[in-house]
Amino acid sequence: MKKKKAPQKASMPDFEFKEFSPEEDRIYAEAVTKFREAIAAGKPLRQAYESYTISDRELEKLIQADFLKILIAERHFSGKEPLDKIAKDLGIPIDLVKDTHVRMLQEVGISAADQFGKEHGTMDPGAPTTDD
């Protein structure tokens, strides 16, 4: 018999931003440049990803996800393009673009809250205060 999963409260997911080694940084920069060149040449996103081989699969997934976020930031937030047009131009499902967009907003919210907490302390009136 399978256990039923308890319903979970909707909460902000945890995010951990990766610190790149110098070699990973170089790979990241080269990959993004190649991806941009392929997109500028009119290739769909999948072919852009195929334009630069990354042997480390985890790093590859991270760079590809970041690149889609970069495109959404440039085209949607800066260029005011609708998400459905971005999906169509890149040859990817609209749900992928929408899910990535939501994740981006969550990451920004968490980063802003973390920064606020570092600068101003907690907003929880029940939290203990210390001067050390």
pLDDT digits (tens, 9 = 90+) for 21-73: 999 999 999 999 999 999 999 999 999 999 999 999 999 999 999 999 999 99
Amino acid of residue 5 = K
Per-residue exposure over 16-43, b if at least 16 CB sit within 10 Å of its own CB, e if not: eeeeeeeebeebbeebbebbbebbeeeb
Whether the Cβ atoms of residue 52 and residue 35 lie closer than 8 Å to each other: yes
Q: What is the CA radius of gyration of the chain?
A: 19
Domain boundaries of the chain, sorted by first residue: 22-119
Tokens of 79: 């260029």
Rounded Cα distance, 47 and 38, in Å? 7
**Percent of the chain whose pLDDT exceeds 70:** 79
Q: Full-prediction pTM beyond 0.85?
A: no
Burial class (CB in 10 A: 0-12, 13-18, 19+), 8: exposed
pLDDT value of residue 24:
96
Quick: pLDDT tens for 63-85. Answer: 999 999 999 999 999 999 999 99
- CB-based contact 90:45 (threshold 8 Å): yes
pLDDT tens-digit readout, 117-132 = 888 876 666 666 555 5
